[in-house]
């Protein structure tokens, strides 16, 4: 249940109380608009801070073709452009300024645990069925944070495909799990930065092609060995904790993605 829903319940309860009690309840500070994170000012180019960083996480999936949104807390041109694409995708005024309407749409998409409404932690945690975020090269907290950014990119990809469901077959894997399934030794799955997805209403090639404009620097799909039945997407270019170079690598030859 969202916090604003709780606020409505509290006010309704207050109306049933004697006059003095009503004054006490109504005079309390207003509840936050959301249970995860609340923005308290408009954001635009030149601004910086934790509120900008939180916004960047949620619009990371609206990067330009073959680009990424740096989650650095600095509202620069790439963040403004991603905000414009987010706004356009949801029928808002596309001015690149994050204000009440933009935040309201994010609140609408966001669950109180900070995940977007169409994806959940349980979909992306340990791929061998044990659950949880431990056993990888990073702390559980860092891995979980990476997974949140992955989910927001998937939410954007889902929207671009007509809001049709995407299903996650595998995401975070512990080192033991990754070895069990034969994953690459430094797989992005180990860091919470990757997901293997399928769609029941869009072709794998449609998914792979669309992923190019949603902040994914790693894409592997049909035509790449071992990826004939799913599309792998990841954020390797942003991962500074792995042993691989920060590059963009796409390969889905049967889809013309390279």
Residues 118 and 258: their CA atoms lie apart, in Å, by: 28
Tokens of 193: 């930065």
Residue 227 known to be catalytic: yes
- Closest Cα partner for 36 from 60, 59, 7, 3? 3
State how far the alpha carbon of 225 is from the alpha carbons of 166, 228, 251, in Å: 22, 7, 10
Q: What is the DSSP string of 54-95?
A: HHHHHHGGGPPTT-----SSB--HHHHHHHHHHHHHTTS--S
Catalytic residue among 214, 227, 230, 232: 227
Any idea which residue has 């997974």 for tokens? Answer: 147
Which residue numbers are catalytic?
227
């Amino acid at each position: 249940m969202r916090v604003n829903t709780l606020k409505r319940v509290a006010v309704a309860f207050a109306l049933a109380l004697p006059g003095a009690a009503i004054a006490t309840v109504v005079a309390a500070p207003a509840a936050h608009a959301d249970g995860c994170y609340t923005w308290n000012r408009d954001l635009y180019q030149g601004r910086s801070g934790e509120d900008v960083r939180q916004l960047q996480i949620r619009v990371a999936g609206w990067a330009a073709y073959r680009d990424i949104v740096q989650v650095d807390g600095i509202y620069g041109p790439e963040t403004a452009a991603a905000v414009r694409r987010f706004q356009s995708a949801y029928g808002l005024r596309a001015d690149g300024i994050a204000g009440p309407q933009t935040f309201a749409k994010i609140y609408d998409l966001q669950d109180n645990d900070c995940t977007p409404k169409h994806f959940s932690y349980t979909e992306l945690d340990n791929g061998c069925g044990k659950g949880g975020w431990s056993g990888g090269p990073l702390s559980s907290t860092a891995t979980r944070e990476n997974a949140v950014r992955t989910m927001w990119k998937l939410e954007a990809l889902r929207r671009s495909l007509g809001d049709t469901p995407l299903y996650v077959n595998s995401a975070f894997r512990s080192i033991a799990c990754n070895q069990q399934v034969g994953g690459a030794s430094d797989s992005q799955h180990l860091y919470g930065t990757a997901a293997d997805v399928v769609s029941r209403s869009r072709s794998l090639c449609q998914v792979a092609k669309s992923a190019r404009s949603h902040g994914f620097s790693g894409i592997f799909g049909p035509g790449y060995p071992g990826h004939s039945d799913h599309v792998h997407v990841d954020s390797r270019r942003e991962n500074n904790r792995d042993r691989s170079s920060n590059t963009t690598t796409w390969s889905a030859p049967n889809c013309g993605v390279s």
